[in-house]
Structure 1
Amino acid sequence: MVHYKLSYFPIRFAGEIPRQILAYAGQKFEDNRIPQADWPALKSS
């Protein structure tokens, strides 16, 4: 089974369209909002 993970920065409207598409399609997904302070640690990995 496919597991979708939507990762994006919490900027206004940044992930809105992909979230709406996944919700409309009835797909379960993980909504992963990355705070800017956490980005340097995640970028290296």
Structure 2
Amino acid sequence: MENFFDLDVQIEQITTTKVMPGVTQTSCAFVCYPEDLTLA
């Protein structure tokens, strides 16, 4: 259950860091990839 909360926090952080690329690109890779594919 805690893992789900962690994912929520990570997704929120990524959405905030998306404006400043290079901060959490490595951590964002596995979460941003599917998002980019959906946008593309």
**TM-score (norm. length: structure 2):** 0.33
Indicate the structure whose relative CO is greater, using CA pairs within 8 Å and at least 6 residues apart.
1
**TM-score (norm. length: structure 1):** 0.31
Relative to its length, the structure with more strand (as a share) is: 1
Which protein shows a greater Rg? Answer: 1
Relative to its length, the structure with more helix (as a share) is: 2
